[in-house]
Structure 1
């Protein structure tokens, strides 16, 4: 059994993002005094990913401002930070991780926080110069070079990353075209009703948003991307192309080690324990049983990477703790700020209160019984706690009262 007095072998954390760094931090915060090794493939200290498509591209934050801890913190807290090193394999029988530098490290407990990688769809021309993805700070820096007056950017995908990049690029006077296969952007996340509000927002800011269209190929001249050819025969001229069609959890290590996978990630119980003894998963890859929702939940959201490490650390030191937080994410696009709580899968209707066209509203996703599955506040910042409580309550609510701004949300909880 893993605990604070486990003998010699350290806790090994694989992953150089927020989840990995917070796991190391939370182990120390929870009194774990044994060895901690953090394996990070990038050559910079672990940092948060959301600012890459938000403040970093907007020029309002630099890497040190969203680095979780500087390298001195790891030294001060006796965390063995190994930058530029990849975990090549995990042997759960011998409790050993083999590394890209030829070394190996034994573990008393192992935390997989390997995150996600951008999906690379099989599009002709995708290997040309000038084709970008966005997952790392180096990729964000390269993408930023494509912004500016007179420059043209084509974005494949109208999800969160695609739209946030479009907003950042427009703020720098870049001409932007977004191509989305669905009839509205963000349809998979928010449904067509609220997706339409985001479509209107981007078009109002000069984005050429083309919905219901697929990309047939990326056009190339002299080895460099020059735009897109769409399935209706039309073309988009661009100096650079961003492919933003989703992310895929980095489950290769877990799969090769024989861990149980589920929902595109690594299956865990509500305590974030995987199918292997003393092996945990946190962040994007964790497909965790949720004790309130009573289903397995895997979301590639910042909040999981921020909050799941505390549960992992508490279980490693011998406290019995479940991860009970509801899914949460946020976005900033132009003058729109939004927070979303819950999980809208299987919703039957959307109820709004406030001014949708004026981008100051609340939205609620309800099931057939009228239970609030998820809620969103757009440019309204005093409703978050009540929305969280409504989602957590898991009981039917009168839809008319939910839509009425005169009815306090607190009275419906």
Structure 2
């Protein structure tokens, strides 16, 4: 049985950041990383963007080289998922039957792709995208060409539909349940712009369509939608987001909240020896104090770093407002805070329509900011939200735009 001062469960950006933070303050404590995937921590955003467009290469995805991991003196125990956590004994068990004990543990197992209930005979033609292995499988099929259907209007579906539409010999049918890609985020003026861009790229974009059934004939998949619409394709990507891997924490009796594990401002769970970071952590919003849980890369890295410092007793209250971003064709954006288009949205659009700043307002205060093709303004956006700016003032209209 291996014994660790710090046992980090998961193998994503949160764990990579936490291990570095711990080692920066504790040069002698032993650190173990238990990961379900066989790969050491790697970048996930390129799986739906840069790898398809030639901007990234698989060889460059690793968050640290083997030499860097060795220099940190970390045990990488990969390809062996944890199936049991016993907080009383401070012990974990992996699927291979190995036992590990800890003084302090971090839970950062991320999430898994949501699945569509499928008969076995259809599974080879239906894809999800969460891991590097998922990307390799989908890339092999996409390279063969044909018609692909992408289902899902969130970040993953939007990015994949855009990336796949730029592949040779591939036609894209894209169905979303809302008014377009990223419909819960974008105000009408940007929604119209992005919908038009997909269609200009040759994407067959169908809005307000919710998949109800998937079947097949001899050669094609048949998609039945709740609205009575029907379509067909050669293969399908089901991109309806992820589900946080809370099962381990739930079975261990940790307090849950908002689809994740409840933590305090130091990212410590209801067990004083267990911290949580990344997609799993439900923590107090640094500005508003309400519980939030975020499924974005920046949040995983920053909460991982903060949790690592907390585990060695070197952290203050978590105060970072995490950003999220996307790139769709020539459009790119960064956003901060609570950005939902059912809020009061105030949009400052450049005269040529190429840039925009969207302010998401509630109770006479700016709660979120989206910067559309506007760069270098994230810190200013954070300050605007932290100051609880009144959108009735001139500040919201002039603080961030470049025109």
- TM-score with structure 2 setting the length: 0.92
Aligned pair partner of 1:252 in 247, 251, 266: 247
Name 1:398's counterpart in structure 2: 392
Aligned length in residues:
399
Deviations 1:80-106 (A, max 9, x none): 001111111100000001112211111
CA-CA distance at 1:345 after TM superposition: 5.2
Alignment of 1:386 onto 2:380: yes
Please say if residues 154 and 227 of structure 1, whose CA atoms lie closer than 8 Å, have aligned partners that are also in contact: no
Aligned pair partner of 1:80 in 75, 97, 121: 75
Name 1:4's counterpart in structure 2: none
Deviates most, 158-167 or 336-345: 336-345
Name 2:204's counterpart in structure 1: 208
Name 2:56's counterpart in structure 1: 61
Name 2:43's counterpart in structure 1: 48
Name 2:368's counterpart in structure 1: 374
Matches within 5 A, 1:226-375: 226-344=221-339, 348-355=343-350, 358-369=353-364, 371-375=365-369
Please say if residues 81 and 94 of structure 2, whose CA atoms lie closer than 8 Å, have aligned partners that are also in contact: yes
Deviations 1:182-202 (A, max 9, x none): 233322344656444332321
CA distance in 2, matches of 1:70, 1:225: 43
- Identify unmatched segments of 5+ residues in structure 2: none
CA separation of 1:64/1:149 partners in 2, compared to 1, >3 Å: closer, same or farther? closer
Name 1:107's counterpart in structure 2: 102
Alignment of 1:134 onto 2:129: yes
- Identify unmatched segments of 5+ residues in structure 1: 1-7
CA-CA distance at 1:254 after TM superposition: 0.2
Which secondary structure does the structure 2 equivalent of 1:81 belong to?
strand
Name 1:122's counterpart in structure 2: 117
CA distance in 1, matches of 2:197, 2:130: 25
CA distance in 2, matches of 1:210, 1:388: 35
Q: CA RMSD in A?
A: 2.4
Name 2:175's counterpart in structure 1: 179
Aligned pair partner of 2:156 in 152, 161, 184: 161
CA separation of 1:397/1:183 partners in 2, compared to 1, >3 Å: closer, same or farther? closer
CA separation of 1:88/1:148 partners in 2, compared to 1, >3 Å: closer, same or farther? closer
Deviations 1:146-203 (A, max 9, x none): 3359521101111111110111111114211111112333223446564443323212
Aligned pair partner of 2:195 in 199, 202, 219: 199
Which secondary structure does the structure 1 equivalent of 2:288 belong to?
coil
Deviates most, 70-79 or 293-302: 70-79
Deviates most, 27-36 or 255-264: 27-36
Name 2:87's counterpart in structure 1: 92
CA distance in 2, matches of 1:340, 1:195: 16
CA distance in 2, matches of 1:234, 1:124: 21
Name 1:220's counterpart in structure 2: 216
Which secondary structure does the structure 2 equivalent of 1:69 belong to?
coil
